[in-house]
Amino acid sequence: MKRIGRLFAYGFVLLTTGVTVFPFLYMVSASLMSFQEATGVPPALLPAHARWSNFGEALRAAPFARYAVNTLIVSGLSTLGTLATTVLAAFALVRLRFRFKRLLMGVMVALLMVPYEILVFTNYRTIAQLGLLDTYAALILPSLASVFYILYLCQYLTAIPDTYYKAAIVNGCGDLEYMWRIMIPMSRSALFTMALLLFISGWNSFLWPILVTNTTDMRLVGNGLSAFVTESGTAVQLQMAASTIIVLPILILYAVFHRRIIEGVHVNGIKR
Amino acid sequence: MSITIRHLGKRYGERVALRDVNLEVCDGELVCLLGPSGCGKSTLLNIVAGLLDPSGGDVLIDGESVVRTHPKYRGIGMVFQDYALYPHMSVEENVMFPLRVGEHRVARREALVRARRFMRLTGIEDLARLRPGSLSGGQQQRVAVARALVQEPRVLLLDEPLSNLDARLRLSIREEIRRIVKATRVTTVFVTHDQEEALSIGDRIAVMDRGVIQQFAAPQDLYLDPANLFVARFMGSPVLNTFCLSYDGGRRVLAGDDFSVPLGVLDVSRFRRPVGEAESVLAAGGCVLGVRPEHFHLVGGSDGLADAGADRFPVVFGTLVESVEMIGRYAVVHFTADDERCRCVVDVRRAPRAGDRVLVGLDCVSVHVFDADGGRLY
Amino acid sequence: MAGGVRGWLARVGSYSAERQPRAWLLLLPALACIGVFNVLPLVRVFVMAFQSGSLRHLRFAGWSNFVAVLADPSFVRALVNTGVFACVTVPVGLVVSLMLAVAVDSRMRGSRVFEALLFVPYLTSVVAVGVVFRYLFNGDFGVVDYVLSLVGLGPFDFLNDPRLSMVTLCVFGVWLSLAFNIVILLSGLRAIDPLLYRVADLYGASAWERFSRITLPQLAPMITFLSIMDLINAFKVYTEVYVLFNGMPGVADSAVTAVFYVYDKFYVQGRYGQGMAAAVVLFALILVFTLLQSLLVRRLSR
């Protein structure tokens, strides 16, 4: 009885994992097929021979390299910016004492309830009024601070005894010195996980870039791919190649740092 | 480098943490702040360090008010209960840290020289390259002390520095701390809740309770000459025996059910007030007689025969031994007198057994008498 | 020089350990960004919901935007679709991931590998994955259609048949939601004290009893958290639709969702006021549902 249960459980897990992984495997496989193979009935599981030229063709068909560079710049800078603002803010909220701190924390927790998708449109108006449409600034500015990660880091820092800070200021260490030499090294792993997840969500951003960019040159990989799908019509093998190009960097990051990423999510239940 | 604390107060909303605290710590002196948890001793230390603001009053270091001064300009070194050693730095880097930050930072080479000197003083040169995580509690403690001293502060503050160590280590480290502190001649304030620690390490001890300094005196004076009932009870182990006696003005006797103490047998010179005045306070009622466990003497065994020494004591009464605790050289004998559970200390070789009937003599001259508010009368 | 002045100020000036207004200086960058891009837009949503006209000439319009939006059958459809999407993906996603998490956790060999693989969809671009799903669900040469035809079902045109758009969207939604749920549930499962199970075994509890008496109650906080997060996310569904139906809300608006409607009104049609009125309605619905759900879950767990 127990063995049957175990077997059933194993089968269920294998099946679901298969369903989860299959789209990625098939994406890679189809990215190497010819058009005939990719659109044939019954569908081919593997290409007869790998057509690496699909990748070159996709890269020629749309400026994916440019998209990737844009995305790298945008999510890289937003990640660094968010790290900086978050570290400063979380330090102030956890270690310093000042008026209206509780009120401020309360407002931030309340802001967590507001869905980003609702704010995105009026943010578009702000950016338009600032005359920043279709610039890197438009893509980066709104993601230079995150209420969620400030609260995340606050929670992490609260668990570190405040005697480290007390010892440091008695020793004549300034606030910035404390952050740089003690707080950041001591919360390295949390900050690293945070940076990974920030970068990944920047890489995958979609709604904001389609709102504030309108020239091809400013597109990020997400809206670049979506535009390419419209332009390329039925050239599925090229679409799969393009998707692979976009997903692969994240999969590599994940393969290297998967423990850290999963633990980071375990700790705090990070939302998308 | 003296510390002067004047009329210091600290309140958190309604709660009063410190009330009119006055304290004078002399240059090079080692003072302990002793008291039960929540008595305000750590609050006081943190105010001296500048980690908390006083609600009123003043703190002077070397005659200069520091309450509006940033901690880094107060010239203090501090050791915390959890040591707060930076886990990502080696021992050497930890000790050098105070010299390498702030506007008075010195060159790495010089910092290293100075750090080495204090590491030698605390006996941790061999650990220089290790991380704090791989050290024992006692070693971490030494690193923390070295780090606190490396800036050659005017004042060293230690906040319960021994309470994370095991009992045996505590004994040796506290001697070590006293040696180091005396060698550097730094003025030191040491916070602890452990009276034995305070007695052994402090030049003087400030006993605190409920935000008030109850008594500030040398260790032996706290024990022999307590200012009030709280100090008398807090100092000494086993704890002071107390009896609520009523005063019979006609016979001039402190009367209880099992024994009475005639005022006549007390030493007149030991009264804190003129005898007449003391008598009227006693007559008002609520007085407490305090007897140290060593001031009860067993003067007779279970045979009921009085010991030869019995006549040395003006007050003798019979009682039943309830239990006997062996402490080593001494035994603590528990019995009941006047409805109070009492403890007395006897030589282990002369200890009775539970159930024995004994005669107890009271060393009347050495007792304490407190008024209804706990103030000392005798 | 500046350091000297600062030092002098700190020495003589009024230092305080409990009043450190310099905190605001450190908070400034974060608060400026949050103020401009989180608080200001929120205020603007509510202001614009009561205005009409072009972005340059907005004027007060009273409740007319709300009247127009609520009377718009397309908006009603968007709300119904969003509701259906939430009501399908949240419970299905939770149940499936709970089953999976329990199965993976039961001392299965390679459970960490399964966890790592199952988490992948959480990190990969919804757009890229959506493009792959478009391919898999293709009515002419898609794999899904082919597999279903092997068991005698179909043919289906998942992407172009208006009756099937919501089905396709929900399948995609469930597939996407599993990853996060599983990782959170597994962390919850691993936090359960094994002693509880040992005691249960001692009393001869059945597998079902172990699950319903220990696992489920111990996971209750995680499940509450997930159901609320999933619900909020489901209400915000947009990218999935955009990608799956190639920038359209399904054939003949069959898969239009609330955020998609707002996007369309605001960005495509330029009816800013109506778009924001719809956003306010959506926001209110999210708040109400979150509140209701947390009440419900609290009642149930009692």
**Predicted confidence (pLDDT) per residue in B323-356, tens digit:** 999 888 888 999 988 888 999 998 888 888 888 8
Does A91 touch chain C if contact means CB atoms closer than 8 Å?
A: yes
List, for chain A, all residue ranges whose pLDDT scores fall below the cut of 50: 270-272
Does B97 touch chain A if contact means CB atoms closer than 8 Å?
A: yes
Q: Which of C1, C12, C15, C19 has the most B C-beta neighbours within 10 Å, making it the best mutation to test the interface with B?
A: C15
User: Mind listing the pLDDT tens digit for each residue in C119-130?
Assistant: 999 999 999 999
CATH number of B3-234: 3.40.50.300
pLDDT at B209: 93
Residue C81 lies in a domain: yes
Cis check: omega of the bond before C217, within 30 degrees of 0: no
Domains, chain A: 62-232 (1.10.3720.10)
pLDDT at B305: 46
Interval C172-197 mean pLDDT:
89
Interval B112-131 mean pLDDT:
93
Q: Which residue has the higher pLDDT, C12 or C273?
A: C273
User: Mind listing the pLDDT tens digit for each residue in C261-299?
Assistant: 999 999 889 889 999 999 999 999 988 988 887 788 777
Residue C25 lies in a domain: no
pLDDT at A79: 96
CATH assignment of the domain containing C286: 1.10.3720.10
Confidence band of B160 (pLDDT split at 50, 70, 90): very high
Interval B1-9 mean pLDDT:
92
Q: Would you call A172 and B72 a contact, using CB atoms and an 8 Å cutoff?
A: yes
Q: Which helix (H) or strand (E) holds C90?
A: helix C73-105
pLDDT at B346: 87
For residue B82, list chain A residues with Cβ-Cβ distance below 8 A: 161, 163
> How is domain B237-378 classified at the CATH fold level?
OB fold (Dihydrolipoamide Acetyltransferase, E2P) (2.40.50)
Q: Would you call B68 and C17 a contact, using CB atoms and an 8 Å cutoff?
A: no
The domain locations on chain B are 3-234, 237-378
pTM: 0.87
**C89 pLDDT more than 70:** yes
pLDDT at C4: 52
Interval B343-372 mean pLDDT:
87
Taking chain C, what is the end-to-end CA distance rounded to the nearest angstrom? 65
Count Cβ atoms below 10 Å from residue A52 Cβ, excluding itself.
11
Does A223 touch chain C if contact means CB atoms closer than 8 Å?
A: yes
- Asked if A78 contacts A169 with a C-beta cutoff of 8 angstroms, the reply is no
Domain that holds residue C73: 65-300
Q: Which residue has the higher pLDDT, C55 or B230?
A: B230
| Contacts of range B334-343, beta carbons closer than 8 Å, 24 or more positions apart | B335/B360, B337/B243, B337/B256, B337/B258, B337/B259, B338/B243, B338/B245, B338/B256, B338/B257, B338/B258, B338/B259, B339/B257, B340/B241, B340/B242, B340/B243, B342/B241, B342/B291, B342/B293, B342/B296, B343/B238, B343/B239, B343/B241, B343/B293
Interval C41-48 mean pLDDT:
94
Does C73 touch chain A if contact means CB atoms closer than 8 Å?
A: no
Does C297 touch chain A if contact means CB atoms closer than 8 Å?
A: no
Number of structural domains chain C divides into: 1
Distance CA C89, CA C93 (A): 5
Tell me the residue type at A266.
H
Confidence band of B309 (pLDDT split at 50, 70, 90): low
User: Mind listing the pLDDT tens digit for each residue in B233-282?
Assistant: 999 888 999 998 888 878 888 888 888 888 888 888 888 888 888 888 88
Q: Would you call A182 and B76 a contact, using CB atoms and an 8 Å cutoff?
A: no
pLDDT at C170: 94
